[in-house]
Amino acid sequence: MELTASQIAYFIAILVILILLLMRKDIILPVIIAIFAIGLLATKDVIKAIQIIYTAILVSGIRLWHIIVIISLIIAMSKALDDIGADVILTKPFIRHLKSPTYSFWIIGLFMMLLSFFMWPAPAVGLIGTVLIIPSLKSGIDKVSLASIVSVFGFGIALSGDFFIQGAPSITAKAAGINTHQLVQNILPIWAVSSVVASVSLYFCVLYTSKHHPPSEYVETKPIHGRPVSFKSYTVSVIAVVLFLIDVLIMILFKIHSSGATALIGGTAIIVLIASAAIQENFLDKTRDYLREGFLNGMRTFAPVIIISAFFLLGETSMAKQVIGPHARGYLVDLGTYLSHHIPLNKYTASLLELAMGILTGMSGSGFSGLPLIGALAKTFSSAAFLNPALLASIGQLAAVWTGGGTLIPWSTAVVSAVIDVDSRKISKRNFIPAVLGLISAYIVTVILL
């Protein structure tokens, strides 16, 4: 297999973007230039290349729209609850338990992980993110650390295993030609070791930060018991908690997950927003204002994410065909095929290739988009080198989800960034060491087990 000019340009663009990220430079302009260059090389048509810039951004926006909507609704609901004093009410039960950074770290992390197992992390972060900000700050954890805890335990640890909903394992297993149960059994020890390594290393990072950079500026500007709350506010706050608990119960009993779980949380958020506005003066105007503010904040957060995702989604075959044309192929898919044809296979190289392909496909910002390729490569590599396909698929799945699921790269952490109001680049920087150490440990365990 020979690489085309557009494929080479795509790979060079990835390297340039990674270098700029390491230099802490903005990558929006390079991403737009890269989309144009790839479109021009693929079509040999300047007009078509100009159109591809718009089409790529449009398709990316359409794919992200459901996330933008749920986050915007949660931000709007959070603002409404904040105005009626619900933050004072809802944080009281947590204060006595979140006594220190250590207590806060493990309580918040494990709670996020458990919720994410049953309802996936995107709805979970909306449920607990805003409620836990003030108690965590009072305990000595800054907002960046809180965002990092939520993303690592939810979007990293819980989503990479996905043992209860089994969305990720089912996709990977199907492409690898094995059953889901077999994949889950094989991924469990790899997942356990990587999760422990990642969580413990993050714990020490957070502990170091809390000792040397206490979040006093946040605590002083927003005291917990700074204003009185009415009986109506208590009632709405309790109703909000009860409604979301009912949502969790419904998701578990009726096995509602993914887009269904997001829709349930989103609808509930609107109901809570309306209830919060109804006990205030000019509630009709308040309802409009909250929704407008929520969507303005949501779009402000996701605008750069849409453009960056437009480039990396070209790595998917379906996206490339939709944007460039029916003859196009996913550039990341082609890279995986190229590498597999030029590297001798054994348990070390096969595991490394699966790890690398998981990371590369995860760079699209979707931890799941590359799973079919991960499974297919595991099937191919296992046949060529007589290795366990489930173990190979496991390391690839972990790498893909940790990278693109919402932990390692900035444009995948937008959900947590929007809810907790933290720059996504800061979250990724804080997550980098724990995530990388987790993936390295996963690779070592995979090689040992093969």
Q: Select the more confidently predicted residue: 160 or 313.
A: 160
Q: Within 13 A of 256's CA, how many CA atoms are on the CB side?
A: 16
Range ranked top by mean pLDDT from 21-25, 40-44, 112-116, 316-320: 40-44
Closest C-alpha among 126, 122, 128 to residue 90: 128
pLDDT score of 222 more than 60: no
Note the pTM of the prediction, 2 decimals. 0.69
User: How far apart are the C-alpha atoms of 288 and 57, rounded to whole Å?
Assistant: 28
pLDDT at 199: 94
Quote the distance between the C-alpha of residue 248 and its chain's center: 20
Q: Are 397 and 407 in contact (CB under 8 A)?
A: no
pLDDT score of 237 more than 80: yes
What integer is the mean pLDDT of 397-406? 88
Q: Select the more confidently predicted residue: 326 or 67.
A: 326
pLDDT at 440: 95
pLDDT score of 217 more than 60: no
Tokens of 296: 């303005």
Closest C-alpha among 386, 370, 447 to residue 172: 370
Encode pLDDT of 53-64 as tens digits. Answer: 999 999 988 877
Encode pLDDT of 264-322 as tens digits. Answer: 888 998 999 999 999 998 899 999 999 999 899 888 877 887 888 788 778 777 788 89
What integer is the mean pLDDT of 330-347? 73
Question: What separation in angstroms does the CA of 206 have from each of 77, 103, 193, 412?
Answer: 29, 12, 20, 21
User: How far apart are the C-alpha atoms of 242 and 248, rounded to whole Å?
Assistant: 10
pLDDT score of 196 more than 90: yes
Q: What is the CA radius of gyration of the chain?
A: 22
pLDDT at 273: 93
Phi and psi (nearest 5°) for 444? -60, -45
pLDDT score of 134 more than 80: no
**């059953």: which residue's tokens?**
179
The rounded mean pLDDT for the chain is: 82
pLDDT at 57: 92
Name the band, by pLDDT with cuts 50, 70 and 90, for residue 52.
very high
Name the band, by pLDDT with cuts 50, 70 and 90, for residue 227.
low
pLDDT score of 448 more than 50: yes
pLDDT at 228: 62
pLDDT at 37: 94
User: How far apart are the C-alpha atoms of 408 and 159, rounded to whole Å?
Assistant: 13
Q: List the Cα angle 264/265/270 in 5-degree steps.
A: 100
Other CB atoms within a 10 A radius of the CB of residue 78 amount to 26
Quote the distance between the C-alpha of residue 361 and its chain's center: 14
What integer is the mean pLDDT of 35-41? 93
Closest C-alpha among 357, 371, 398, 394 to residue 182: 394
Q: Select the more confidently predicted residue: 393 or 357.
A: 393
pLDDT score of 167 more than 50: yes
Closest C-alpha among 187, 176, 182, 180 to residue 379: 176
427-439 CB burial, b ≥16 within 10 A, e <16: bbebbeebbbbbb
pLDDT at 223: 47
Query: Crossing angle for the helix pair 167-176 and 180-212, nearest 10 degrees?
Result: 130
Tokens of 328: 């196009």
Q: Are 420 and 136 in contact (CB under 8 A)?
A: no
Burial class (CB in 10 A: 0-12, 13-18, 19+), 293: middle
User: How far apart are the C-alpha atoms of 296 and 289, rounded to whole Å?
Assistant: 10
Give Dmax (Cα) for the chain: 71
Name the band, by pLDDT with cuts 50, 70 and 90, for residue 68.
confident
Q: Which of 96-100, 221-225, 377-381 has the lowest mean pLDDT?
A: 221-225
Q: Are 186 and 389 in contact (CB under 8 A)?
A: no
What integer is the mean pLDDT of 16-40? 84
User: How far apart are the C-alpha atoms of 295 and 313, rounded to whole Å?
Assistant: 24
